[in-house]
Amino acid sequence: MLGGSTREVAAALGVSYQAVDKWPDVLSDKVADRVLAAWTRRNVEGLPPPFAKSVSLPQSGQEAAHG
């Protein structure tokens, strides 16, 4: 979800390579939540601050534009 290598995952989460390398095959809920949050920040547009760098939220009754 966050890259093809342990280094890419570690960079996306802001942790060391060694920390990710020690993960078990089945992630704890806490680690899984961090992975999902990092993926969401990277892939979902329209998140409110401070979760997104730039935000363009639709006004009530309007749909978000996807480009």
Q: Give domain limits for the chain.
A: 6-43
Q: How far is the C-alpha of 24 from the C-alpha of 40, rounded, in Å?
A: 22
Which runs of consecutive H residues, i.e. helices, occur in 1-67? 6-13, 17-21, 29-43
Residue 50: the pLDDT is: 66
Q: How far is the C-alpha of 51 from the C-alpha of 53, rounded, in Å?
A: 7
Q: What is the mean pLDDT of each run of 10 residues along the chain (67 residues)?
A: 87 92 93 90 73 53 47
Supply angle C-alpha 57, 55, 36, rounded to 5: 100
Residues 6+ apart with CB under 8 A from 39: 1, 2
pTM: 0.60
